[in-house]
């Protein structure tokens, strides 16, 4: 996995779409002058990474219950992410808000070698990114790249 706490680490990301997406997110979270350390980090899954390792690195619950012992696949399992979006043909973007303004964004490439259970989870719960979103002032914004 690749942990990104600021844009200086973006050169570690080989996939151009994912690199541009994370760069855009860094720009968005600092638009009001916030410091990267105050707002969180990105965890980029790599082929061979286990779900447990991703959960541990980000301090998040992906396929394990946050308040119960239920796991993904159990009838009473409830995911704990705030947002899980699909960037079709590229990746999944999963955001956990850890408290206050601090968050962890786990980016899961839709690629060979990524944990099959993690991809099933993402495909089951993700919503596709909107083509554009209206913002204050009447402009539109196209998420992703």
- pLDDT for 145 equals 46
For 3-34, the pLDDT digits (tens) are 999 899 999 999 999 999 999 988 887 766 66
Q: State pTM to two decimals.
A: 0.86
**Where along the chain do its domains lie?**
2-131
Rounded CA separation 40/2 (Å): 14
Quick one: tokens of 116?
A: 């099959």
- pLDDT for 33 equals 62
Q: Is the pLDDT higher at 34 or at 109?
A: 109
Rounded CA separation 78/88 (Å): 24
What average pLDDT does the structure give for the chain?
87
């Amino acid at each position: 996995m690749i942990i990104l706490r600021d844009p200086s680490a973006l050169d570690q990301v080989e996939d151009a779409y994912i690199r541009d997406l994370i760069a855009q997110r860094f720009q968005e979270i600092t638009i009001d002058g916030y410091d990267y350390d105050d707002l969180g980090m990105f965890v980029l899954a790599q082929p061979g990474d286990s779900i447990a390792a991703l959960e541990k690195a980000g301090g998040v619950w992906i396929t394990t219950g946050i308040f119960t012992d239920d796991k993904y696949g159990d009838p009473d399992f409830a995911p704990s992410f705030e947002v899980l979006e699909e960037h079709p043909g590229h990746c999944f973007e999963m955001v956990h808000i850890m408290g206050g303004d601090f968050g962890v964004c786990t980016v899961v490439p839709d690629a060979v070698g990524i944990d099959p259970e993690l991809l099933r989870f993402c495909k089951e719960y993700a919503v596709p990114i909107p083509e554009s979103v209206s913002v204050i002032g009447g402009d539109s914004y196209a998420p992703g790249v």
